[in-house]
Amino acid sequence: MLLFKKKFLPAIRSGEKTQTIRLWKFRHMRSGQRSYIPGVGYIRIKLVEHVEIDALTDADAIPDGFPTAAALQHELRTIYGEKLAQGHKAFRILFEREAVE
What are the structural domain ranges in the chain?
6-97
What is the helix (H) or strand (E) element at residue 69, kind and residue range? helix 69-85
Residues 44-89 have pLDDT tens digits of 999 999 999 999 999 999 999 999 999 999 999 999 999 988 999 9
pTM here is: 0.90
Domain 6-97 has CATH 2.30.130.30: yes
- How many other C-beta atoms lie within 10 A of the C-beta of residue 15? 9
Q: Do 73 and 54 contact (CB within 8 A), yes or no? A: yes
